[in-house]
Amino acid sequence: MGLTFVWAMGKNRVIGANNQLPWRLPADLAYFKRVTMGKTVLMGRKTHESIGKPLPQRRNVILTRSMEFEAPGCEVIHTLDEVSLLAAQEEIMVIGGAEIYKQLLPLADRLHVTEIGESFEGDAFFPVFFLEDWKVIERTPGIQDEKNIHPHEFVVYERLS
């Protein structure tokens, strides 16, 4: 139960450019799939629109202020209270975007971040968080190859207290 964030970011905290990922990193997509499969994923409307369809084999929940918004194959919620109710029942994987991360970061219990060792141009940034509030519980170096050209590592943080 609780909120677990999943995201990738460059050294300059960039997480998106024009509602897309500004890098190609298949290892990150595989990691994302592995940690979210079979779980409830929570995203904002813009993230849902960038994906274009519900993520398969996951319960897709969209948080939006728009009361008219509908998304076939997804559940739509409108308040942080509704997020809290969901998180009290099961682990919720928060997958973006920037505004959702900003609103929910104070409530997060665990962070799964792909830290990419380069800076990128972008217009969406992960909010600043203080590492002293978190403990690294897992750090796995990513393998660079012809398909995964950017240096990267997968890091899992758990909130202290």
Q: Which domain holds residue 7?
A: 2-159
Is residue 161 pLDDT above 90, yes or no? no
Q: Any idea what the CATH number is for the domain that residue 111 is in?
A: 3.40.430.10
How many domains does the chain divide into?
1
Helix, strand, coil percentages (3-state) for the chain, rounded to 5, are 25, 35, 40
pLDDT in tens, 26-39: 999 999 999 999 99
Which residues on neighbouring strands pair with residue 139, listed in sequence order?
A: 155
How far apart, in Å, are the Cα atoms of 93 and each of 85, 129, 147? 14, 18, 26
Residue 82 to residue 80: CA distance in whole angstroms = 5
Instruction: Copy the structure tokens of residue 94.
Output: 């928060």
Tell me what percent of the residues of the chain surpass a pLDDT of 90: 97
134-141 vs 152-159, strand pairing mode: antiparallel
Q: pTM of the full predicted structure?
A: 0.96
